[in-house]
Chains A and B, each alone.
Chain A
Amino acid sequence: MAKHKNVLPGFNLSLGYTLLYLSLIVLIPLSAAFLKTTELSLAEFWQVVTAPRVVASYKLTFGASLIGAVLNAIFGLLTAWVLTRYTFPGKKLVDALVDLPFALPTAVAGIALTAVYASNGWIGSILEPHGIKVAFTPLGVVVALTFIGLPFVVRTVQPVLEDLEAETEEAAASLGANRWQTFSRVILPALWPALLTGFALAFARAIGEYGSVIFIAGNMPMVSEITPLIIITKLEQYDYAGATAVAVVMLVISFILLFAINGLQWWSNHRISASR
């Protein structure tokens, strides 16, 4: 596999171990999912993955993930901007806490969000009189998926924003652009790849999310039941083939997203290095 010999030792050992471990932990188990579906005929497979309850769960999962990711793109960009451009008391603490959804166990996030957004919770009790119910509705799913995707956009946009040279903005200003024109025509185009990457990462993470959602969702079939929960339900009924069929649909979508994200990141790096 080596293109030309490199004198550093350990290539065969390290690559061999990497491939072995990767195969044992990831590749072989994942292929088991695809093999398992072959137990179903195509018609059976199609029937399982297009059952009304399953389709309703796709709509909820993808819809709520999309809304969460859009919210994160908007407010994540804003947060990244505020954290790189301005100073305010407690900024360092806020900056560190942005990563909380990465570090906080999803089950903890789930019960905490439920407690806050339930009709007797701190925020839920304020919203309830206005006719807005969050916990145990699809809106709750959006809240949970926004929470777990929150750091992605901030953390992909922030470094790009930090690296932007003040000179380009000064140049825009010296050419007569006002602040908004400078932002929309000079800064935003430079942020696009990172913003899109962060959005895609948040979206991909949200699709597979389970722990934080099931507490707040209410899990009503056809209404607030996410796809990962469908898989669990089928497993608990010992419907392994059915669970796997739905899993395969999700896996394929996730893989497509992963490749898209890698492509985006390549594009974004490529643009940065080309401009240097």
Chain B
Amino acid sequence: MSATIVSQLHSYNKKVARSRATSEPAWVRWSLIAVSLLFLSLFLFIPLAAVFTEALRKGFGAYIAALVDPDALSAIKLTVIAAAISLPLNLVFGVAAAWAIAKFDFRGKSILITLIDLPFAVSPVIAGLIYVLIFGMQGWFGEWLIDHDHKVIFAIPGIVLATIFVTFPFIARELIPLMQAQGKEEEEAGLVLGANGWQILWRITLPNIKWGLLYGVILTNARAMGEFGAVSVVSGHIRGLTNTMPLHVEILYNEYNYAAAFAVASLLAFLALLTLALKSFIEWQASRDVIIDEQIEE
């Protein structure tokens, strides 16, 4: 009788020891959490909080005034325009590139993927520089542009080009692994059932990649609206004309108009937080789809 109790106790102890064996004591756990949170606070949370505090330092009235200033409004407008042009272009490119790479086999595919990644590796400053070399006054098309009274550098087209460059890989990089993982059976099924290429794209492929697509669009948009280095090189910093929001922040800051600089910056920070919230929402949605899938498989 007592022997069975002892052996039961023994096996129970072993069980506890086992779960303990793959975890850490509470004090280790909490110190690791504390160190990690301290690190994140120093580099993330405190600077983020500083943006909003500094923005409201001179009161709410000054905050609003900084945002409705005509130069600020025109910077907001230009930022939205640059994003609104570059986004659809990179979207079409991303879908086309992912379609070719994920659904077909061809030689040089991995080189192509690496080339698509190139803009990630290029400093934003250099991204701006290369367009100056082509479209600037001394550039390849410089004279032609002056003769025909077109302006690219120090004008909106240059800003759009630089924005396209720095956000170039985002959507394609999001879609390629996703579409590769999904394979092409569903598209083939559509084909056998008589659908043509556009019908397959619109009715089968795009609905299947909608979360990945949205994810890429959101990241692209955040980067497009926030780009600084590349745009700074090609913009010429003409107030009210070629200033985007980040450039406007820089100008205000360099003029020691800190409250106004942080006010505009807070708008961008808010956009970043919104981006993160949407991103989390999409991840949650997409993982929910996957979980349902897996539950049924079992």
Taking beta carbons and an 8 Å cutoff, which residues of A are in contact with B?
A: 1-4, 6-11, 13-15, 17-19, 21-22, 25-30, 32-33, 36, 75, 78-79, 81-82, 85-86, 88, 92, 94, 96-109, 111-113, 115-116, 121-123, 143, 146-147, 150, 166, 169-170, 173-174, 179, 182, 204, 207-211, 215, 228-229, 231-232, 235, 240, 243-244, 247, 250-251, 254-255, 257-259, 262
Contact = CB atoms under 8 A, between A and B. Distances in A.
A192 B29 CA distance: 22
A29 B131 contact: yes
Nearest to A35: B133
Given A78-B35, A166-B22, 17 more contacts: A27-B115, A30-B118, A79-B39, A97-B45, A97-B276, A99-B279, A100-B272, A104-B269, A105-B272, A107-B247, A112-B48, A122-B46, A170-B18, A170-B22, A174-B21, A244-B133, A255-B118
Contacts of B29: 86
B7 interface: no
Given A21-B93, A105-B227, A99 B47 contact: no
A208 B125 contact: yes
Contacts of B97: 14, 18, 22
Q: In the complex, which of the residues A29, A146, A170, A182 has the most CB atoms of chain B within 10 Å of its own CB atom?
A: A29
B118 A32 contact: no
B209 interface: no
A108 B276 contact: no
Interface stretch (B60-68, B101-109, B143-151, B290-298): B101-109
B96 interface: yes
Interface in B89-130: 89, 92-93, 96-97, 99-101, 103-108, 112, 114-126, 129-130
Contacts of B161: 25
The B interface, classified by DSSP as helix, strand, loop or mixed, is helix
B130 A29 contact: yes
B206 interface: no
Contacts of B121: 204, 208, 254-255, 257-258
Contacts of B40: 79, 94, 97-98
A255 B229 CA distance: 19
A18 B112 CA distance: 9
Contact of B107 (A1, A92, A111): A1
B240 to A, nearest CB: 18
A15 B196 contact: no
Given A104-B226, A106-B226, A251 B122 contact: yes
Contacts of A9: 196-197, 200
A92 B281 CA distance: 12
A251 B187 CA distance: 40
B118 A258 contact: yes
A109 B45 CA distance: 11
A275 to B, nearest CB: 18
Interface of B: 18, 21-24, 29, 32-33, 35-37, 39-40, 42-48, 50-51, 54, 89, 92-93, 96-97, 99-101, 103-108, 112, 114-126, 129-134, 136, 138-140, 161, 164-165, 168, 184, 187-188, 191, 196-197, 200-201, 219, 222-223, 225-229, 232-233, 245-247, 249-250, 253, 258, 261-262, 265, 268-269, 271-273, 275-277, 279-280
Given A14-B97, A146-B43, A232-B233, A22 B115 contact: yes
Contact of B222 (A2, A102, A174): A102
Contacts of A208: 121-126
Contacts of A123: 42, 46
